[in-house]
Structure 1
Amino acid sequence: MNRLAFALVALCCACNSGPVAKDSEKASPDTKPSDTRKAGSDWPIFLGPSSNSVSTEKGILKNWPKEGLKVLWEVEMGLGYAPVVISEGRLFHFDRFGKNCRLTCRTSETGKLLWKFDYPTDYQDYYGYDPGPRCGPMVDGDRVYIHGPEGMLHCVNVADGKLIWKVDTAAKFNVLQNFFGVGSCPIVEDDLLIVQVGGSADEAPPNDHLKAKGNGSGIVAFDKKTGEVKWKSSDQLASYSSPVIKTIQGERWGFMFARGGLVAFNPKNGKVHFEFPWRAKFRESVNASNPVVVGDEVLITECYQIGGALLKVGKDKPEVIWSDEKKGREQSLACHWNTPIHVNGYVYGSSGRHEAQAELRCVDWKTGEVQWSQKRLTRSSLLLVDDHFLCMTEDGELILLEVNPKAYKEVSRWRTDLVPPCWAAPILSHGLLYIRGKDRLLCCELIPNK
């Protein structure tokens, strides 16, 4: 596999920075966050409360100063690419420091350290990327869950970081290391923690995931309070996409864009409704973008060869509405790790495998027809808020765009000084915007106090 080309040098533009928190700082004896949050909503799971990178907050600052948004605080990050999450005044980030993976809890308003939880890891990446976590934390009530790059699954207490339970999924389900380790975030459904595991049959050659075959643990549901396995399902191996659960015609459906394609399942018991094969026809390829569910239709997309497909859900098999599989270079939407966003009959996302080739696109949801494309933004992630997109490029630029299916309309732009790669999608919670790069996390004021 060709290594992704990205710059590893700091960009030299000024920003209005707040205090920098150091990794050596000590936890506060008071583990309670201050209750000074603005109006707004929490962001407790990957891609937000609706799993689609959409915020309901209003009143964002649209005309940005030349020096960029006001930075209220910032903190040095460890190794990894994981986004942060926000719950009830607490911010959680999951990184690697030395030989330990670490979950850190801070006050979301000030960045003050509340507690740390860490565990030893020996994960090394096959392709030379850094060995830190790929998955962000996930908060559910008084518990927070982390899924490490080596496959360790931990549940800890939100208030103080004390361990509640843990499972070594690699050992328990015979998971062979994938290209870039584990990169699928868990999700909670009722009393279950649903995880893409992707264990392999015993006859698989040791440490050769390319020849592995599934052993029925493609998707595993754990009791969220105890870690006990409640059900497991599918022979699919793991991808870098995360599970999505939605209600369709009054029933709960789960969707997992696994290594070999889309799996539709019943999240209560794991029963598979259908599997839809969708993967590039060469071994060194991955699926990473989350399924996008609108009504009874599901969009899947990958960037290595066959692009996107829109499916109409059915219990026996899905109906293909449109597909990029035979379009060659004329594919509609070929997303890498970013998850596209649907707005009013159109879907917006970064299309293209490599940094220089990536284009931000608007595509007609029903037909797959490209409405417009914008080059030279590198690969990027989107957040929808207040009738605008926040576009975070991998080289550290933050761009505010109108939601417009007719043309690319840029409103403001800020070249941050974050060190690339900036692969985590931006996060908005209670008026504060959180963006991270290789080196630091910035907390910025996007919705000013009135």
Structure 2
Amino acid sequence: MAPAEDAPTADAPAPRRRVVFPWAWIGLAAGGYLAIQQTDQTVDIKNLASTAVLLLLLLGLTGWYAVRGKGPLGLRIGLFAAPFLAVYLIGTFYEFRFNGAGQIIGLHRRGASKSDEMLSRVPDNQSAESGIYDWGPGEYDYPRFLGEGPWAEAVGPALARDWQANPPVELWRREIGAGWSSFAVLGYYGVTQEQRGEEELVVCYDLRTGEPVWSHSDPVRFDPEDFKGQMGYQGPRATPTIANDRVYTQGGKGLVNCLDARTGERLWSVDTAEQYGVDVIVWGKSGSPLFAPIENEGEADLVVINVGAPAGATEGSHDASVVAFNAETGEEVWKSGWRQTSYASPQLATLHGERLVLQTCDDHLVARNASDGTIVFEHPWFGQSANMPICSQVITLPENQLLLTKGYGQGASRIQVSKEGDDWSTEPLWSPPIKPVLQTKFSNVVVRDGHAFGLRGELLQCANLETGESVWRKRRRPSFGFGQVLLAGDLLLVSCEESGELVLIEATPDEYNERGVLQALKKDDLCWNNPVIVGDLLVIRSATEAAAYRLPLAGTTEEPSAVDEATAETASL
């Protein structure tokens, strides 16, 4: 029987296998990426989700080739493992540098950090044995983190609104040790914290010249890379607090110091991590010391510290989340709570006539009686110190209300605090309770005329406090990034994360109106530190550099600054 004409012969080629998966996987990944970019999430959340899509794309394609591709099995497995091996090797010998959005901004060989390199170029630990001869308060001081109020605000003369016609004048610039501390300023002097090699320092600078007057060092080095390679970089985070001729500090690993403000001599210290058996959280102890002055006769001035908790702490297993020390002696006055603290600082607030210490924890806002530490109320506020931390301060508003803000896609909430007899309660005032505005990650908001201004990711945003709705938001180039916001009268000063710029903007809900730009610090260097204004003096720093400027005042052109009028001599060391 003759074969059918269309029957295949032995020499006919095998039908080509249709390759579907790689193209379908690429299309799915592209669709996922585009969908992420169309959301209203902040840039850091978008970058995190986009990175996950990229990793899944790479894993899917290399995995498919290892299983279904052509060629020797060893080659296919090698190609599957190569990208992951390359990332591992690069991470072993080099350090990726990330900004607040999670974007890679540099690659540096592991080894000596910037602060280590500076160790030979900055003064060793030294004291001003004879004391600073002209130490004393000024007309406008900024003695602690964010100044004197619940948000960063400079109280002083009105600033000029046109920096093109009347630009700021640089007074000095110098290299500085690593860290995210800001300056606390009293009179002519500013105190900050730095990392220099293996030493954690508190340094007092003469703001007339930028020269160090005294420094105190401890053999402590905090580096988030010790915690499973986390980002964040080395150095102390908290800002010193100046009160009663003393300087109170908390280092990156929880070492609390009380120093003589005139000489830098240590008066007392407490290693809180060791004394209270708590863990140093991933990005370090960032809470600045809270000075709580005497309220009732017979009580002592207090220094309140966010101490934290050990891993896995539960109610009843730990009682020192927050500790108050006698400001004069360093003795413990009270301790309270079991929850892990956030990266924000404790703060004083008067609600219903009672003085409270407000503290954000991993998943709650906690309010305590300032005199004895008794917890009076808690309010749910989600956060996790290991991956979605709370860094922003609680904002006190009129009529016993509070404003909470947080990044990582969360937003803001305005709450009413009520009190009947001895019973306290809280109630959200917006609907929904958390609005997708003011998603502050590393920064804080400022408040003026019923509106809050803050950095929502890389956008500067104005929100109506009555409704919780966005009024305007602005992206600029170079980007604000994850910088900081300072209020001065009816003006905002926003320090940019990477460009080194300080931007002058009108603090108005009407519209975004940029009035000037100052290249305050060098470019391409991270700045997460808060700027400070004292009178007409601007003091600003990053992790590697500090600078001071004279700002023009409203209605003047070249009026001398108090800093310029003072003698250029520093106190004897």
TM-score range, shorter chain: 0.7 to 0.9
Q: Secondary structure at the match of 2:441?
A: coil
Q: Secondary structure at the match of 1:322?
A: coil
Change (3 A) 1:276 1:323: farther
Aligned twin of 2:189: 90
- State the TM-score, normalizing by the size of structure 2: 0.69
Q: Which moved more, 1:386-395 or 1:250-259?
A: 250-259
**Equivalences for residues 179-194 of structure 1 within 5 A:** 179-190=282-293, 191-194=301-304
Q: Which moved more, 1:317-326 or 1:407-416?
A: 317-326
| Cα displacement (A) at 1:414 | 2.2
Change (3 A) 1:323 1:180: farther
Change (3 A) 1:69 1:197: same
Aligned twin of 1:18: none
Q: Is the 8 A contact 1:257 1:300 kept in 2?
A: no
**Equivalences for residues 38-77 of structure 1 within 5 A:** 40-65=139-164, 69-77=168-176
- Structure 1 counterpart of 2:430, from 318, 322, 325: 322
Aligned twin of 2:510: 406
Q: Which amino acid aligns with 2:192?
A: H
Aligned twin of 1:262: 365
Q: Is the 8 A contact 1:400 1:413 kept in 2?
A: yes
Aligned twin of 1:218: 321
Matched, 1:119 2:227: no
Aligned residues: 421
| Cα displacement (A) at 1:314 | 2.1
Change (3 A) 1:298 1:249: same
Q: Secondary structure at the match of 1:413?
A: strand
State percent identity of aligned pairs.
Answer: 26
- Structure 2 counterpart of 1:426, from 531, 540, 552: 531
| Cα displacement (A) at 1:372 | 0.3
Q: Is the 8 A contact 2:438 2:445 kept in 1?
A: no
Structure 2 gaps of 5+ residues are 1-44, 49-97, 108-120, 294-300, 553-557, 561-573
Per-residue deviation, residues 276-311 of structure 1 (Å, max 9, x unmatched): 111158962100000000121111111124221111
Matched, 1:397 2:501: yes
Change (3 A) 1:250 1:368: same
Counterparts of 1:228 and 1:325, CA distance in 2: 41
Counterparts of 1:112 and 1:282, CA distance in 2: 36
Matched, 1:149 2:264: no
Counterparts of 1:442 and 1:7, CA distance in 2: 23
| Cα displacement (A) at 1:440 | 0.6
Matched, 1:160 2:263: yes
Aligned twin of 2:444: 339
Q: Is the 8 A contact 1:392 1:399 kept in 2?
A: yes
Aligned twin of 2:406: 302
Q: Which moved more, 1:141-150 or 1:414-423?
A: 414-423
Q: Is the 8 A contact 1:40 1:431 kept in 2?
A: no
| Cα displacement (A) at 1:129 | 2.8
Matched, 1:129 2:218: no
| Cα displacement (A) at 1:53 | 0.9
Aligned twin of 1:5: 103
- Structure 2 counterpart of 1:276, from 379, 384, 390: 379
Q: Is the 8 A contact 2:521 2:541 kept in 1?
A: no
Counterparts of 1:116 and 1:213, CA distance in 2: 39
Larger fraction in strand: 1
Change (3 A) 1:301 1:57: same
Structure 1 gaps of 5+ residues are 10-21, 201-208, 353-357
- Structure 1 counterpart of 2:123, from 7, 24, 48: 24
Q: Is the 8 A contact 1:144 1:157 kept in 2?
A: yes
- State the TM-score, normalizing by the size of structure 1: 0.87
Change (3 A) 1:231 1:27: closer
Per-residue deviation, residues 35-72 of structure 1 (Å, max 9, x unmatched): 899x7401110000224211221132332249962110
Q: Larger RCO: Structure 1 or Structure 2 (Cα < 8 Å, ≥ 6 residues apart)? A: 1
| Cα displacement (A) at 1:255 | 1.1
Q: Is the 8 A contact 2:490 2:508 kept in 1?
A: no
Q: Is the 8 A contact 1:6 1:421 kept in 2?
A: no
Larger fraction in helix: 2
Counterparts of 2:136 and 2:345, CA distance in 1: 32
Counterparts of 2:142 and 2:508, CA distance in 1: 25
